[in-house]
Amino acid sequence: DLSVTWLGQTMPGCLYNASGVWCREEDELEALHASAAAAVITKSATLKPRDGNPEPRYCRTPLGSINSMGLPNRGFDYYLDYARRYRYGSGKPLFLSLSGLSLDDNCAMLRRLAEEGLPAVPEVNLSCPNVPGKPQLGYDFAATAEALEAFDAAYSGLYGVKLPPYFDPAHFAAMAEILNRHPRLAFVTCINSIGNGLVVDIDSEAVVIKPKDGLGGLGGDYVLPTALANVREFFRLLPGKDVVGCGGVKSGREAFMHILAGARAVQVGTCLYHEGPGAFSRIAGELAMLMRVKGYRSLDAFRGRLRTL
Ligand code: DHB
């Protein structure tokens, strides 16, 4: 049984897409909804539609991916309209990723969503690394603290934030202290891509993506240990909140690791990009088999039970 009780409802499994992958257009969102994914999250929306950065802006590598998409998206109204028509009765929650270019834009989108009173849940993105000139908000603790105060004023329901990866215990502690001030912040999604990596092609002696002279967010195998560290640390530091694991999940084994580290649900990014929505039934089947071998009958039986030595 892979079902997950979370945010006041029971979803049929624990796996869904990482925002950005397979979720910019309605037909992609519908394909996710029709797949074995247990929930759906939309591409990060800005207030107005954007074309994003020049191509090539995504590259697959032997160990994962690098991207600098630059927030190409249909604009908030498109995803809000999708949320109005979404079939919530399927038991698969709909999350709306919001990534305004300013605090005012994020608050404007949150206010619009609150006015509509839809069951869709916002995941506010504090960690897009790919808009030239816009630093990742989650690396500015004072700005994050200010943003969360404003979100509380703009939005009256439960919400989550997508965090960048942190790499130092002092940063985990500082961010957790800020997040713990906000009871309606129900979950954090860890992690966004590891920002501003550089992939080099030996044959061409060149970078592999065009924006930012080749710098881009890393996903896939590169990021799994960093993702697990962030999930485990925030699981410990945020009692009463949930952690959604994201990073390096390509089989039931990595999904199991994320849940053992404390994840309530698990998102799939790079692997979904490469394999398509069929990845969800494969990974869910592998996770179920691993649980059967280990004698676990539910995710609750091992979530957060990672042992130390
Ligand atoms: C994009 C990348 C991200 O990692 C993110 O969180 C939001 C947007 C992008 O490049 O489109």
Of 24, 43, 44, the one to substitute when testing ligand 1's pocket (max ligand atoms within 8 A of C-beta) is 44
Tell me what percent of the residues of the chain surpass a pLDDT of 70.
Answer: 100
**ipTM of the complex model:** 0.97
208 part of a folded domain: no
Q: Round to whole Å and give the CA distance between 255 and 265.
A: 9
230 part of a folded domain: yes
Of 59, 67, 123, the one to substitute when testing ligand 1's pocket (max ligand atoms within 8 A of C-beta) is 67
What pLDDT, on a 0 to 100 scale, did the predictor assign at position 61?
A: 98
What pLDDT, on a 0 to 100 scale, did the predictor assign at position 85?
A: 98
Q: How confident is the model at residue 287 (pLDDT cuts 50, 70, 90)?
A: very high
pTM listed for this prediction: 0.99
User: Which strands form 64-67's sheet, in the order they lie side by side?
Assistant: 58-61, 64-67, 215-220, 194-198
Taking each continuous run of H as one helix and of E as one strand, the counts in the chain are 9, 16
What pLDDT, on a 0 to 100 scale, did the predictor assign at position 303?
A: 98
Q: How confident is the model at residue 222 (pLDDT cuts 50, 70, 90)?
A: very high
| Number of domains the chain contains | 1
Q: What is the CATH number of the domain that holds 100?
A: 3.20.20.70
204 part of a folded domain: no
146 part of a folded domain: yes
What pLDDT, on a 0 to 100 scale, did the predictor assign at position 191?
A: 98
Whether 130 lines ligand 1, by a CB cut-off of 6 Å, is yes
